[in-house]
């Protein structure tokens, strides 16, 4: 199972917002509830997306993440989820899994905040994956330290712009190790190696290829080949490549063959599973269930054996049998035996007394 967690989707056409009411009236006017704008995709856009997905399926991919990109900040009043209407328009494919991804490109204006707060959690619950593309040193530090901690707003993907003339920040080992320890991964889009734009505002053509190789090698060196996924980010069908071709390409970045294969198989799979914890309490994988054991009943056979063992007398010790009196029957009680013995003693005393008087 091969993953492509970055399938760019072009922005659809949105209707123009209606004009606001006049504010010249005296007093406070009741707030008018504007209807949610309808997202409309043109037939040409649907055809382009369908053809790309068909080609990806033909190349061997089975899990796709449709990517919606937002610049600088997510505005809760104007943000619209454009992926839900798109999924309802795409045709069903057997064996294909579609995910929804939101990518926020961070710049200097995003240092004050880019909307990834608990008050806007309802906006992000509809997305399966959240990715951040930092372009400054402070936003990169925030993405690695703050937004990679398990929470309902965790950003599990940190996408580095690789087509810029040089990296806009220094990849510190402490920041990278902390992000990987928290469960985040660093994304390498192979579209830059084909001379295309990876969405970070970099160069295209020969310059993009040169910058991509230098930046990708730096990422592999700092991460030591751990916590890396390879995605497409391709908007043109001619730049799409099969998973095995991408694996051979990544080996040129000093990655072993096995690690290069994991960048599009096992590592993205574990990432998708961890991303599901955003919708659970404190990133718990499953809801705990209390299991009360049934009361254990005693075994009747064991009770019978214990009873028989208690009643049986030990055979190694001799038993003393008290002889019965010959005159007393076996059915006589102890009181009757005592009365007979006392009567015999009285008779003996009387007989001895009579014999003494006669003498």
Q: With beta carbons less than 8 A apart as the criterion, state whether 189 and 198 touch.
A: yes
pLDDT over threshold 90, residue 230? yes
Q: What are 167-186's pLDDT values in tens digits?
A: 888 899 999 999 999 889 99
Rounded to an integer, what is the distance from CA 47 to the centroid of its chain?
A: 34
- What six digits make up the tokens of 91? 């045709």
The residue among 261 and 153 whose pLDDT is bigger is 261
> Contact, 131 vs 187, CB < 8 A?
yes
Which of 217, 29, 9 minimizes the C-alpha distance to 127?
9
- pLDDT given for residue 149 in this prediction: 86
Share of the chain above pLDDT 90, in %: 29
Residue 189 binned pLDDT confidence (cut-offs 50, 70, 90): very high
Residue 213's pLDDT is what? Answer: 92
Distance CA 38, CA 17 (A): 11
Return the minimum-mean-pLDDT range out of 68-72, 91-95, 178-182, 274-278: 274-278
Q: What pLDDT sits at residue 52?
A: 92
Residues 107-122 have pLDDT tens digits of 888 777 777 888 787 8
Sorting pLDDT into bands at 50, 70 and 90, what band is 187? very high
Higher pLDDT among residues 349 and 216, named by residue: 216
The beta-strand segments (E) located in the chain are 2-8, 61-71, 97-106, 129-134, 157-159, 185-189, 228-231
Residue 45 has pLDDT above 70, yes or no: yes
SS3 for 228-278, per residue? EEEECCCCCHHHCCCHHHHHHHHHCCCCCHHHHHHCCCHHHHHHHHHHHHH
pLDDT band at 29 (very low <50, low <70, confident <90, very high): very low
**pTM for this prediction:** 0.71
Three-class SS state of 13: strand
In the predicted model, is pLDDT for residue 207 greater than 90? no
pLDDT of residue 58: 93
Better-scored residue on pLDDT, 329 or 37 = 37
Tokens of 72: 């600088």
CATH fourth-level superfamily of 2-9+41-283: Metal-dependent hydrolases (3.20.20.140)
Q: Domain residue spans in the chain?
A: 2-9+41-283
Between helices 137-145 and 173-181, what is the axis angle to 10°?
A: 30
């Amino acid at each position: 199972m091969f993953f492509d967690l970055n399938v760019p989707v072009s922005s659809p056409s949105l209707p123009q917002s209606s004009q606001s009411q006049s504010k010249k009236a005296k007093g406070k006017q009741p707030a008018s509830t504007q209807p949610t704008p309808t997202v409309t995709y043109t037939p040409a856009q649907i055809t382009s997306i369908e053809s790309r997905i068909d080609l990806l399926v033909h190349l061997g991919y089975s899990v796709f993440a449709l990517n919606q990109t937002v610049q600088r900040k997510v505005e809760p009043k104007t943000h619209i989820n454009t992926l839900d209407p798109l999924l309802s328009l795409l045709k069903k494919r057997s064996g294909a899994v579609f995910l929804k991804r939101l990518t926020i490109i961070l710049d200097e204006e995003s240092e004050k905040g880019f909307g990834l707060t608990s008050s806007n959690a309802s906006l992000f619950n509809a997305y399966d994956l959240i990715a951040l593309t930092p372009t400054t040193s402070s936003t990169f530090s925030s993405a690695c330290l703050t937004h990679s901690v398990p929470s309902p707003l965790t950003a599990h993907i940190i996408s580095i712009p690789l087509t810029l003339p040089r990296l806009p920040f220094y990849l510190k080992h402490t920041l990278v190790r902390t992000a990987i320890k928290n469960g985040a991964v660093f994304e390498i889009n192979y579209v830059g190696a084909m001379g295309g734009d990876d969405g970070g505002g970099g160069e295209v053509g020969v310059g993009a290829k040169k910058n991509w190789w230098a930046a990708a090698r730096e990422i592999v060196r700092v991460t030591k080949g751990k916590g890396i996924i390879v995605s497409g980010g391709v908007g043109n069908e001619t730049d799409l490549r099969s998973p095995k071709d991408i694996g051979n390409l990544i080996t040129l970045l000093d990655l072993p063959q096995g690690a290069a294969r994991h960048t599009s198989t096992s590592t993205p799979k574990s990432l998708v599973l961890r991303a599901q914890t955003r919708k659970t309490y404190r990133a718990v994988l499953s809801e705990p269930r209390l299991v009360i054991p049934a009361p254990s009943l005693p075994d009747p056979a064991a009770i019978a054996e214990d009873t028989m063992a208690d009643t049986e007398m030990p055979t190694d010790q001799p038993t003393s049998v008290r002889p019965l009196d010959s005159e007393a029957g076996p059915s006589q009680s102890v009181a009757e035996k005592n009365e007979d013995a006392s009567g015999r003693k009285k008779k003996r005393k009387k007989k001895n007394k009579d014999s003494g008087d006669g003498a």
